[in-house]
Amino acid sequence: MHLPDGLVPVGMAAAGYAGSGALLALSMNRIARLPDPQAAMPRAAMMTAVFFAASAIVVPVPPTTVHLMLSGVMGVLLGWFAVPAILVGLFLQAVLFGHGGLTTIGLNGLIIAVPALVAFMVYRTAAGRFPRLAAGVAGSGGVLMSLAIFAAFVLLGLPAQMDASAERAALMVFVLAHMPLVVAEGIIVIVLLQILSRVEPGLLPRG
């Protein structure tokens, strides 16, 4: 779910850079407060590589398939490191594969990183009492929130002469086509966090 280059007005793309830049500055500030921020970097890089590879997992939505987004689980496992990790992932996708866009990295960063941070906070707050519910909300809620931000950006950015009813209908089809992904990511994140809490609890955030 990426905004490609050339679709939105250049001012909006520049505003996306400003927004993502602010979010990145906030994250770097929080990361700098960690006891040993450099020690967390290799782990963040490794997780970014795993998420990058795992986002190739497809969920069948006949007649097509959709890719996992993993914004919620990235937030849960990486915390504040999720913002640089997501921006790095988007940059590499644009540079290596031409997916997403170079001018829209800022907007795409907001589409994925804001839900990741919200999922991180929700999970950290609620996982102690309701671990499964918190995992499900982080997984499914992350995708839902990304969809909402993506739809808002598309509505703001598409050419003004576009037929408004057709635009809304196309967006509705797009959102409905992603509903199976909302369910799938919920299932995957619940199972994933359950396994990690049993086998490697050190990977999970402490409440």
Partner 1 sequence: MALILAFAFASVTQITSLPLLAALALAALVASGQPMAVLTRLRAPAMLALAIALALALFSGSDTLWQAGPLHLRSDGVAAGALVALRLLAIVTLTLVLLGSLPPHKLAEALRGLGLPAILSDLVMLTLRYIDEMRARLARADAARRLRGGGAGWRALPERAAVFATALIHGQHRADRVWAAMRLRHYGATRPATPPFGLHDLLWIGAALALAAALVWLDRAT
Please state, in angstroms and rounded to a whole number, the distance separating the CA atoms of residues 26 and 199.
32
* Position 207 contacts partner 1 (CB under 8 A): no
Q: Give the shortest CB-55-to-partner 1 separation in angstroms.
A: 10
Write phi, then psi, for 67 (nearest 5 degrees): -90, 150
The sign of the dihedral angle between the CA atoms of 56, 77, 96, 179 is positive
The window from 49-57, 107-115, 116-124, 144-152 that contacts partner 1 (CB under 8 A) reads: 49-57
Q: Give the shortest CB-48-to-partner 1 separation in angstroms.
A: 5
Instruction: Scan residues 151-190 and list those touching partner 1 (CB under 8 A).
Output: 159, 161-163, 166-167, 170, 184, 187-189
Q: What stretches of 1-130 show up as alpha helix (H) in DSSP?
A: 10-32, 37-54, 71-78, 82-92, 105-126
Size of the site for partner 1 (CB under 8 A): 65
Please state, in angstroms and rounded to a whole number, the distance separating the CA atoms of residues 207 and 204.
9
* Position 35 contacts partner 1 (CB under 8 A): no
**Amino acid identity, residue 123?**
Y
Q: Give the shortest CB-153-to-partner 1 separation in angstroms.
A: 15
Q: Give the shortest CB-72-to-partner 1 separation in angstroms.
A: 13
Please state, in angstroms and rounded to a whole number, the distance separating the CA atoms of residues 153 and 32.
31
Q: Which two tokens stand for residue 143?
A: 């995708």
* Position 136 contacts partner 1 (CB under 8 A): no
* Position 99 contacts partner 1 (CB under 8 A): yes
* Position 66 contacts partner 1 (CB under 8 A): no
User: What angle separates helix 131-157 from helix 10-32, to the nearest 10 degrees?
Assistant: 150
* Cis before 159? omega within 30: no
- Residues in contact with partner 1 by CB under 8 A are 4-7, 10, 13-14, 24, 28, 31, 37-39, 41-50, 52-54, 56-57, 59-60, 77, 84-85, 88-89, 91-92, 94-99, 101-103, 159, 161-163, 166-167, 170, 184, 187-189, 191-192, 195-196, 199-200, 202-203
